[in-house]
Amino acid sequence: MALCKSSINGAAVNLLLLVLLLCSYCSQLEAKTHLHKWDVRYEYKSPDCYRKLVMTINGRTPGPTITAEQGDTIVVVLKNSLGTENTAIHWHGIRQFGTPWSDGAEGVTQCPILPGESFTYRFVVDKAGTFMYHGHYGMQRAAGLNGLIIVSPRLGLPEPFTYHHDRSILLTDWYHASTFDQAVGLSSVPFVFVGEPQSLLINGRGEYNCSLVAKTPAPGTGNGSIPTCNSNSPECAPFSLTVVHGRTYRLRIGSLASLSTISFQIEGHEMTVVEADGSYVEPFVTKNLIIYSGETYSVLVKADQPPTRNYWLVTSVVARKPATPNGLAIFNYYPNHPRRNPRTSPPAGPQWNDTASRLSQSRAIKARKGYFESPPQKPDRVIELLNTQNKINGQFKWSLNNLSLALPSTPYLVALKKKLKGVFDAEQPPDQVNLDSYDIYDVAKNVNATSSSRIYSLEFNSTVDIVLQNANTMTPNNSESHPWHLHGHDFWVLGYGEGTYDSNRDPQYYNLVDPIMKNTVPLHPYGWTAIRFRADNPGAWFFHCHIESHFFMGMAVVFEEGIGMVGRLPSSVMGCGKTKPHRSLG
Amino acid sequence: MALCKSSINGAAVNLLLLVLLLCSYCSQLEAKTHLHKWDVRYEYKSPDCYRKLVMTINGRTPGPTITAEQGDTIVVVLKNSLGTENTAIHWHGIRQFGTPWSDGAEGVTQCPILPGESFTYRFVVDKAGTFMYHGHYGMQRAAGLNGLIIVSPRLGLPEPFTYHHDRSILLTDWYHASTFDQAVGLSSVPFVFVGEPQSLLINGRGEYNCSLVAKTPAPGTGNGSIPTCNSNSPECAPFSLTVVHGRTYRLRIGSLASLSTISFQIEGHEMTVVEADGSYVEPFVTKNLIIYSGETYSVLVKADQPPTRNYWLVTSVVARKPATPNGLAIFNYYPNHPRRNPRTSPPAGPQWNDTASRLSQSRAIKARKGYFESPPQKPDRVIELLNTQNKINGQFKWSLNNLSLALPSTPYLVALKKKLKGVFDAEQPPDQVNLDSYDIYDVAKNVNATSSSRIYSLEFNSTVDIVLQNANTMTPNNSESHPWHLHGHDFWVLGYGEGTYDSNRDPQYYNLVDPIMKNTVPLHPYGWTAIRFRADNPGAWFFHCHIESHFFMGMAVVFEEGIGMVGRLPSSVMGCGKTKPHRSLG
């Protein structure tokens, strides 16, 4: 790059030509740096017509979409204007090779960012695809601190499909209770569950039924001139996606739902799935795309229906008994008015409890021929994680192999790199518990579960298999879906199974031919999911259920690998716990 | 002290007697250290029957009362369990001689305490009297983070009055909106004022009219099994003060109201005021004690009424047009049932807008003969602070001499002691603006007001006069009351005046004979208040309006004095802004 630049400054034309030739091999030639200045604060907004405090980025929720080209550098200077609350933002799906301190996982990779302070995230987007970002501190993601990252392939690298237009849709669910209310309830004894979300949002817009809200103004609106719920607020006008008949649209769809698994469909239109979590998918056609929190997909949609009217774009809750109305947006055929509702009834989503068809869609997602890297054929280590609901000291928790993660007040990455003692429990968590003796269909009764800050140490560059084993919760005949998200890596999805995993039998049926690489994968009720990854990214990395409340209740583990290779940590990630400035200014 | 201790270990009786004699002069003999371990978190509580998140200390709001003897050392190890929010606690009325870093004023004396971390406050209570503590970060005081400190005189030092029993009462007002809602409204453009409080609390208990609340359960209560407002909640049973006929009670009364100035009275009983902010008052009798936020008083009350029934203890709002119902508690004559309401109607409070009688009570508060220190007869410096309401960048603010305080992200004390550059505006704020040319009766129009981090540098041990000058707000015919509180010092109250202060005329009428020493003093509508203090406490100290919203909107100045004499700062006060650990762990 330096060569290219200085040479272009030269005058001789033949030298210039030579340099241009060289530069075609110079992979950094087109790499740009994108500087974003973000101000994070609370503001009153009405995303689903109900007015409440929302965390915004530069006045918006979802925040601005980051767009870049593969190989570019993203710089986000985040100013915390929250008043009394800290923050941190995770770049979901970005692997952070060489910049593990920019992963934004409070407690793992950094201290939180204090009010009044600015923090600079700097990282390279090394892979094309659809990614996301969101708050990764407390339950801030659910407060509206989220958005999309769209990375296009390096110039000249064609994609294995074509389309006319690129559009994106971020799906969320939305609570009227503050994240403080939610968090206190989840950690209360007795437990107070926040319940199902009030709305599903499509690109930050939903429509709550305001007649369900008392007419009294919201607390904090003072003189009462501002109603709590206003169906006519422009902030909750439905999202409208305008299309031209005959054109093909790439829809990038991500979900950062707190709780819900979402079915996405477009009335009268089929979708061809072509990308998942930044990997190309062997195309398949569906009417309902099931999307778990933390996942992204690209689908191709041809605007091939009669263009004389608009169509519904619908989201609905699956995998939990729904108590949240469907989310609606408008698939608008030009030149119909973008706000004109179709006269048809919105199509109903799939049965919420049709686990078989969701499992079937999971299995349908394979890597695209000619566009994938084969997995190592054998793992160096297998970690089986039994997912259970537990009570610890009277509080409801989620545990893996009977351990519920409790973050230390010093981030793991800093403690490991600086060799600080006493930050976290030194012993590793167990690689297995005896699954044979555990009845996954029985009500969870793991009385020995404890809170723990232990982490897994992985050998650098080793191949690690993780088998997630689901089980019954503490409620009879109930097993929940858990979308598991890995930071710092993509993993191959080796297989999904029903019932109890059998370490002798099941690996024989792993897909080692064309497994998709993802960063988030569902664990289905009463089932298991097996993944494989290379521990090739020096750092400390979360692996956790992406349901916000489950994560808050300890449903997470942490891996570390190659810490000796981690570069010099920026001082900005420190300042908490044992990294307070004891000796710096004395 | 060391002498006393080691000598007592000796055996010879005559030596012991000598030592005991010596120890009667050993002022530290009885000094104890009181260790308190506090856990600060959010919990659901119903202080006025309305259920909402409240900041608690060890499960309580108000927090535990700290009791100690003059000269004792208080150690509070504060664990922040708030989740995502920082905190800091100020020890209101404690001067912190030698421990300015323990003042708990976030942004002035310390960085905030991060979630998951513990911070140790350690200070000596060098003066007997009634004091308070409260959150001093954002608007956390209004979230319930508050309590009382009661310091009794050193053993053997008699007080100038007698009583049978010592009881204490903390007065607050209470909002149903969260402090987040309040703060966002106050900084919004357009401005959204939270309005008047929903309730007045007496020792943390009030009674909201639950019929005014919609029957829908509060957000966050999930399944709806927990009602938003429950008149039968034991948490909002009225406070009952049990007395025995014929006995005299010392009532220590403090106010940490957010907004309200409160009139306190006991049906059928007179009160003799004997203490204010830890200074003995020349006794006077009143039926209504007017108490401003930040003030404490002791009154003597004789239980001299017919003991066959209970009496009302009433708080009511003055100095603002009240929209908050009176607060009620029970003055219970033993053996009547402590919860039996009197059949009488609670007495009405004084007229809210009777400024003259409030001014008259302010003037009635003089130092007790024989129990006061005379003030220096002349000041070395006079600072006149014109109090105005302004708009700055569209936001409503409060300013002093056209400057509205904006705290830097590095605490002043640390920046000054460590000589860190660029933390705050170097220039001092002006000592005066031209009052002659300012019409205090005109609607405020200070278009030149700005936000600023400038502070006043006081010469160590100099005598400083502050003249607070009130004015009309931005609303026609409106001037508000402002209780001004000084950290790190008591001050003599030299006088109160009506109209515009005249620096030639008014000082002639200052009370230099028996002015009371206080730490909080009211500034009356369209009036002025003059105080004097010795800048004898090395450190950096807030001086601010104690109305939470006014403080939040910049109604504060900061003084610094004798920084060179400040001892070594504990590293625990650092970690934010320019005190992040740049060099400590590299």
Residue with the larger pLDDT of the pair B272 and A8: B272
Q: Is A586 in CB contact (< 8 Å) with chain B?
A: yes
Q: State the virtual CA torsion across B279, B282, B288, B294 in degrees, nearest 10.
A: -20
The pLDDT tens digits for A151-161 are 999 987 899 99
For residue A213, pLDDT beyond 90: no
CA dihedral A519, A525, A526, A532 (to 10 degrees): -10
How many degrees, rounded to 5, is the angle at CA A119 between CA B392 and CA A175?
75
Partner-chain residue, chosen from B177, B409, B575, that has the shortest CB–CB distance to A116: B409
Domain A32-158 and domain A159-204+239-369, same fold? Reply is yes
CB-nearest to A220 from B182, B221, B582 is B182
B356 — phi, psi (to 5°)? -60, -45
User: What would the pLDDT profile of A384-427 be if each residue is shown by its tens digit?
Assistant: 999 999 999 999 999 999 999 999 999 999 999 999 999 999 99
Q: Which residue has the tokens 């971390």?
A: B117
| Interchain pair A585, B574: CB under 8 A | yes
Asked whether the beta carbons of A326 and A314 are under 8 A apart, the reply is: yes
Look at B407 and A112 and tell me if their CB atoms are within 8 Å.
no
Biggest alpha carbon distance in chain A?
Answer: 79
How far apart are the C-alpha atoms of B541 and B555, rounded to whole Å? Answer: 14
Output b/e per residue, A295-315; b: 16+ Cβ within 10 A.
Answer: bbbbbbbbbebebebbbbbbb
How is B320-355 classified by DSSP, letter by letter? Answer: S---SPPEEEEEEETTS-TTPPPSSPPPP---TT-H
Test B585 with A571 for CB contact under 8 angstroms: yes
Assign domain A381-570 one CATH number from 3.40.50.300, 2.60.40.420, 1.20.140.70, 3.30.499.10. Answer: 2.60.40.420
Q: Is A505 helix (H, G, I), strand (E, B) or coil?
A: coil
Nearest chain A Cα distance for residue B125, angstroms? 27
C-alpha–C-alpha distance, residues B467 and B509, integer Å: 14
pLDDT for the residue numbered B580:
83
The string of DSSP codes covering B227-296 is: -SB-TT-GGGSPPEEEE-TT-EEEEEEEE--SS-EEEEEETTB-EEEEEETTEEEEEEEESSEEE-TT-E
- Asked if B316 contacts B289 with a C-beta cutoff of 8 angstroms, the reply is no
Q: What is the DSSP string of A522-561?
A: EE-TTEEEEEEEE--S-EEEEEEE-SHHHHHTT-EEEEEE
Q: Which residue among A87, A181, A585 sits closest to B219, beta carbon to beta carbon?
A: A181
Query: What are the structure tokens assigned to A21, written together?
Result: 């030739």
- Judged by a CB distance cut-off of 8 A, whether residue B505 touches chain A is no
Average pLDDT over residues A322-328: 96
A451 inside 8 A of chain B by CB: no
8 A C-beta contact, residue A468 and residue A459: no
Residue B297 near residue B289 (C-beta atoms within 8 A): yes
Q: For chain A, how far is it from start to end, CA to CA, in angstroms?
A: 43
Q: What is the pLDDT of residues A173-197, one digit of tens each?
A: 999 999 999 999 999 999 988 899 9
Please state, in angstroms and rounded to a whole number, the distance separating the CA atoms of residues B306 and A33.
Answer: 82
Secondary structure letter of residue A22 according to DSSP: H
Question: pLDDT digit string (tens) for B161-205?
Answer: 999 999 999 999 999 999 999 999 999 999 988 899 999 999 999
Amino acid at A391: K
Q: 20-79 in B: which are within 8 Å (CB) of A?
A: 42-44, 53
Cis peptide before A62 (omega within 30 of 0): yes
Please answer whether residues A109 and A573 qualify as being in contact, where contact means their C-beta atoms are separated by less than 8 angstroms: yes
- Domain spanning A32-158, CATH architecture: Sandwich (2.60)
Q: Test B222 with A409 for CB contact under 8 angstroms.
A: no
Q: Provide the shortest C-alpha distance from residue A364 to chain B (in Å).
A: 36
Contacts of A409 in chain B (CB under 8 A): 114-117
- Amino acid identity of A175? Y
Chain A residue at shortest CA distance from B581: A581
Residues 6+ positions from A361 with CB-CB distance below 8 Å: A286, A289, A290
Question: Coil, strand or helix: which one is A342?
Answer: coil
Nearest to B192 among A195, A222, A584 (CB): A222
Kindly list the strands in the beta sheet with B240-243, ordered across the sheet, starting from the edge strand earlier in the chain.
B240-243, B327-333, B311-318, B261-266, B289-291
Whether B175 has its CB under 8 Å from any CB of chain A: the answer is yes
- pLDDT above 70: residue A25: no
Cβ contacts of residue A170 below 8 Å, gap of 6+? Answer: A62, A132, A146, A147, A148, A202, A203, A204, A253, A254, A255, A256
Q: Which of A86, A188, A581 sits opposite B114 (nearest CB)?
A: A86
CATH H superfamily, domain A159-204+239-369? Cupredoxins -  blue copper proteins (2.60.40.420)
Question: With an 8 Å Cβ cutoff, is A86 touching chain B?
Answer: yes
Domain ranges of chain B: 1-30, 31-154, 162-204+239-368, 381-566
Contact between residue B149 and residue B93 where contact means Cβ atoms under 8 Å apart: yes
Tokens at B80, concatenated: 């922040």
The answer on pLDDT for A492 being more than 50 is yes
Instruction: Note the pLDDT of residue A6.
Output: 36
* Number of other CB atoms surrounding residue A7 within 10 Å: 16
Is the CB of residue A420 less than 8 Å from the CB of residue A453? no
Q: What is the mean pLDDT of residues A332-355?
A: 96
Residues of A in contact with B86 (CB under 8 A): 84-86, 114-115
> Residue A197: closest CA among chain B residues belongs to which residue?
B222
Q: Nearest residue of A to residue B177 by CA position?
A: A219
Instruction: Provide the shortest C-alpha distance from residue A98 to chain B (in Å).
Output: 18
CB B278 within 8 A of CB B131: yes
Looking at residue B481, its amino acid is: S
* Chain A positions in Cβ-Cβ contact with residue B182 (cut-off 8 Å): 220
In the numeric block, the tokens 């402590």 are attached to B338
Q: Is the pLDDT of residue A11 over 90?
A: no
Q: Do B219 and A177 touch (CB under 8 A)?
A: yes
Strands, E assignment, B346-480 = 381-392, 395-400, 403-405, 450-452, 456-458, 463-469
A13: pLDDT strictly greater than 80: no
Mean pLDDT by 10 residues, chain B (586 residues): 37 48 50 96 97 97 97 98 98 98 98 96 97 98 98 91 98 96 94 93 96 64 65 96 98 98 98 98 98 98 98 97 96 97 95 96 97 96 97 95 96 97 96 94 88 98 98 96 98 98 97 98 98 98 98 98 97 91 48
Q: Does A10 touch chain B (CB under 8 A)?
A: no
Strands B456-458 and B556-561 come out as: parallel
Which among B84, B181, B572 is the nearest to A219, CB-wise?
B181
Chain A, nearest residue to B115 by Cα: A409
**pLDDT 10s digits, A141-150:** 999 999 999 9
Q: Work out the angle at residue A144's Cα, subtended by the Cα atoms of residues A139 and A146, and round it to the nearest 5 degrees.
A: 95
Q: Is A1 a residue whose pLDDT tops 50? A: no
- The 3-state DSSP class for residue B143 equals helix
Cβ contact B181–A86 (<8 Å): no
Cα distance from A240 to chain B (closest Cα, Å)?
A: 29
Higher-pLDDT residue of A236 and A6 is A236
Q: 3-class SS at A235?
A: helix
| Percentage with pLDDT > 90 across chain A | 88
Cβ proximity of B113 and B67 under 8 Å: no
A547 interfaces chain B, CB cutoff of 8 Å: no
Q: Taking all residues of chain A, what is their mean pLDDT, rounded to a whole number?
A: 92
Distances (CA, A) of A399 to A385, B15, B337: 9, 66, 51
Please state, in angstroms and rounded to a whole number, the distance separating the CA atoms of residues A130 and A152: 9
How confident is the model at residue A216, as a pLDDT? 56
B 409-448 → A contacts, CB under 8 A: 409, 414, 418
Q: What pLDDT is attached to residue A135?
A: 98
Chain A residues whose beta carbon lies within 8 Å of the beta carbon of residue B583: 571, 583-584
Residues 6+ apart with CB under 8 A from A138: A179, A183, A552, B83, B84
Fold of B381-566: Immunoglobulin-like (2.60.40)
CATH ID of B162-204+239-368, from 3.40.50.300, 3.40.50.720, 2.60.40.420, 2.120.10.30: 2.60.40.420
Whole-angstrom distance, CA of residue B327 vs CA of residue B320: 16
Homologous superfamily assigned to B31-154: Cupredoxins -  blue copper proteins (2.60.40.420)
Weakest mean pLDDT among A134-138, A447-451, B139-143, B275-279: A447-451
**In this complex, is the C-beta atom of A188 within 8 Å of any C-beta atom belonging to chain B?**
yes
Rounded CA-CA distance B231/B218 in Å is 15
| Strand-pair category, A89-92 with A199-202 | unpaired
3-class SS of residue A288 = coil
User: B-chain residues within 8 Å CB-CB of A406?
Assistant: none
Q: Does the structure show a pLDDT above 80 at A559?
A: yes
List chain A residues with CB under 8 Å of B116. 407-409, 576-577
Residue B491: name the closest of B467, B507, B527, B457 by CA: B467
Name chain B contacts of A84, Cβ cutoff 8 Å.
85-87, 112, 137-140
Tell me the C-alpha distance between A63 and A203, whole Å: 10
Beta-strand relationship, B327-333 and B311-318: antiparallel
The Cα-based distances of A130 to A252, A490, A528, B12 in angstroms read 7, 13, 26, 86
Q: How many CA atoms lie within 13 A of A461 on its CB side?
A: 1
Residues of A in contact with B584 (CB under 8 A): 574, 579, 581-584
A568 touches chain B (CB under 8 A): yes
